Amino acid sequence: MSGRRVNIVFAIDNNYVQHVCVAMVSLLENNRDLSFRIYVISSGLSRKSVGNIMSVSDRYDCEVKNITVSDALFVELATAHPFYPKGTYYRLLIPELIDEEKLLYLDSDIVVNGSIRELYEEELGDYYVCAIEDPGFDRHRQLKMNPQSVYFNSGMMLINLAKWKRDGIQKRVIDFIENNQDVILFPDQCGLNAVIDGHWKKVPLKWNQQSSIFSRDFDKKFDCFSPAELREARAHPVVIHYTSGSKPWHRTNTHPYKQLYWKYIRMTPYRYAIYSDLMPMFLLKSMIPADLRKKMKQMLKKTA
């Protein structure tokens, strides 16, 4: 890849800037032999947030491009799936926002633990993405997928952007989500899988180590990964994806690689961060009963 930059994309909002800084510094620290162009898609970051991101990238061979999109684009979809912020959908805009042949999309709740050169050099051929299977999927009929198609996790995707553009993937995915809201569980991920429908290339689990592989009896419940692949992903992961609802920035999180998050955060402007569930506002919110919080939200919506 001599002379070429590696294209990376993150899609975030202001709430995830701390975590994307951790993801970035872990990526850049472990890939000093590579040059990067990092695209950060958001609905508009504060000046301080942009400054924090730039303070990370400035220490490396890395060019950052901040791309601002309108929050209004996904209001309707976000209303249908209130547990997922509008930022969840920003990656669907990649084809119209970025002019590259290929890029690596990463969720921001990740830590990179080694070189990504091998992954980035994967031949995509006629596949839409290189990705990792998401274990336990059995909703082919609801998503109108071929029963033989395998469902992938969209938190790490090496994207054949030229093919996405040629085949109009962006519009097809957004249309599917809009027209099938009652069967969507994970908005963008379900939409991408429904449209791509198995036409993707599987790469080793170490490139998107999901938290579920550490759950009890995982090996007995699922057979989508070979014993050797599981051993490698558990012992020598390259991309660690904190996929469960419990994240390493939560006090009670027990992920085996939790401390890597805290190792890299010390190398960012957020080096003095504490567990998010020990923050005063979180503690105050936790003292208010759930039903009362719900009523307050409804009242605020009516007055907005």
Specify the CATH number for the domain of residue 44. Answer: 3.90.550.10
The pLDDT assigned to 184 comes to: 86
Question: Does the residue 239 lie in any domain?
Answer: yes
Question: Does the residue 191 lie in any domain?
Answer: yes
Q: What are the angstrom distances between the C-alpha of 161 and each of 89, 158, 166, 196?
A: 17, 9, 9, 13
How many independent structural domains does the chain possess?
Answer: 1
Domain that includes residue 110, residue range = 5-273
Question: Does the residue 20 lie in any domain?
Answer: yes
| Residue 148 identity | Q
pLDDT tens for the chain, 304 residues: list them: 555 899 999 999 888 999 999 999 999 999 999 999 999 999 889 999 999 999 999 999 999 999 998 876 665 555 555 555 566 678 888 998 999 999 999 999 999 999 999 999 999 999 999 999 999 999 999 999 999 999 999 999 999 999 999 999 999 998 898 888 888 888 789 999 999 999 999 999 999 999 999 999 999 999 999 999 999 999 999 999 999 888 999 989 999 999 999 999 999 999 988 876 554 444 444 445 666 556 655 555 454 4
Question: Does the residue 207 lie in any domain?
Answer: yes
Q: What are the angstrom distances between the C-alpha of 288 and each of 41, 101, 127, 291, 294?
A: 34, 49, 49, 9, 10
- CA 79/CA 71 separation, integer angstroms: 12
Pairing of strands 62-68, 35-42: parallel
Question: Does the residue 184 lie in any domain?
Answer: yes
Question: Does the residue 161 lie in any domain?
Answer: yes
Residue in 176, 214, 210 with CA at minimum distance from that of residue 195: 176
Residue in 75, 6, 71 with CA at minimum distance from that of residue 41: 71
Task: Give the global pTM.
Answer: 0.87
